[in-house]
Structure 1
């Protein structure tokens, strides 16, 4: 939560509005994200590919958030280990980020842009680093439920829970059960010499 509110915290109305110019707050985000994701190719055996916004399957669930009005750029990070999770990062026009792993569910970075949270560029980049650390370390996905299908993903501190009707789950290709995601393989320095 932003520090500008003092000890009393933000007024209740601040949780439901965005009055800051987010394009100004997050102006440096696209260039910084691009550098950070490209750096991963030096640390892990991973292919970093720039995609086109038209490649995204927009039928997949997007957070109920105005930030997804337009996608500027897409990165797809595919680890060499097939049992490791793919990471997709979409930079929005705002610019903020939408991320997902090998799952149909997207989540925002920063998690919230409301006036009460008052997140800035440094916080957004910190959240992205946490997502990267968590996904590269491996995780789990558990799908359960009959009348309502619960999809829960855990990658370190990054967790996501989404509910679907059985029909939605079938349309998205979500299958019940548990899946383990392996850590990304570290790049071997010996191979690069």
Structure 2
């Protein structure tokens, strides 16, 4: 099995209105100014997310036993409609016990990943100047989420308190989260319940291709 390798990303420099280089990720010494919460400058700094998402799709297709669906209708996999969809690709592993992944490329530019049945992961989550997240951080999060899912290190659960949760395990840590079940589309939740009950230990690793690396 060939390991995923991030594609080369050309370094870009972004400047403020006075011509100073913006050090994204360490822009604010303290709290950001109030106006930064409603400002979005240089959203194109997130274009590498599209490049990396495309590379991830190519890696999944070449390495695992999957089927791909592509088209605007695939974006309906998201729990909530997005108004600015540029491209949508669903990657379905051959094993029904493995979580599918849907990559939705937005015009912001950003990427939303629908993983399994009840969770969407957005990169970036916001993108405003106050958040100040550099593209490198967002790409790191995208890659490790996708690779955790395909490795079988992803659990979705619905608790008795009507909360929906997830857990992603990485080589160097983990992430968990919860949301109220009532905030999700009722039909999606109803359909997911019996499937997730049969997966108490989480989704299975994706099956490998018989001829990994060919991508055909």
After TM superposition, the score normalised by the length of structure 2 is 0.69
Query: What corresponds to 1:94 in structure 2?
Result: 108
Structure 2 residue ranges without an equivalent (≥5): 1-23
CA contact (8 A) 1:110 1:127 kept: no
Query: What corresponds to 1:47 in structure 2?
Result: 67
Deviation at 1:99, TM superposition (A): 1.0
Q: Is the deviation greater in 111-120 or in 51-60? A: 51-60
- Indicate whether 1:134 and 2:154 are aligned: no
Deviation at 1:134, TM superposition (A): 1.0
Q: Determine the C-alpha separation between the residues in 1 that align with 2:129 and 2:114.
A: 25
CA contact (8 A) 2:85 2:107 kept: yes
Q: Determine the C-alpha separation between the residues in 2 that align with 1:74 and 1:127.
A: 19
Q: Determine the C-alpha separation between the residues in 1 that align with 2:144 and 2:91.
A: 16
Q: Judging changes above 3 Å, is the alpha-carbon distance between structure 1 residues 104 and 57 closer, same or farther for their aligned structure 2 residues? A: farther
For the residue of structure 2 that corresponds to 1:108, the secondary structure is strand
Q: Judging changes above 3 Å, is the alpha-carbon distance between structure 1 residues 165 and 3 closer, same or farther for their aligned structure 2 residues? A: same
Deviation at 1:119, TM superposition (A): 1.9
- Indicate whether 1:175 and 2:175 are aligned: no
Deviations 1:51-72 (A, max 9, x none): 222343378336xxxxx43100
After TM superposition, the score normalised by the length of structure 1 is 0.76
Q: Determine the C-alpha separation between the residues in 2 that align with 1:14 and 1:131.
A: 32
Deviations 1:107-131 (A, max 9, x none): 2112331323322332222111111
Deviation at 1:25, TM superposition (A): 1.2
CA contact (8 A) 1:169 1:175 kept: no
Q: Determine the C-alpha separation between the residues in 2 that align with 1:12 and 1:36.
A: 36
For the residue of structure 2 that corresponds to 1:4, the secondary structure is coil
CA contact (8 A) 1:134 1:158 kept: no
CA contact (8 A) 2:64 2:212 kept: no
How many residues end up aligned between the 2 structures?
180
Query: What corresponds to 1:65 in structure 2?
Result: none
Deviation at 1:152, TM superposition (A): 0.6
Deviations 1:17-71 (A, max 9, x none): 333131x21234323321221122222222333x222343378336xxxxx4310
Which residue, out of 62, 83, 105, partners 1:69?
Answer: 83
Deviation at 1:158, TM superposition (A): 4.4
Structure 1 residue ranges without an equivalent (≥5): 63-67
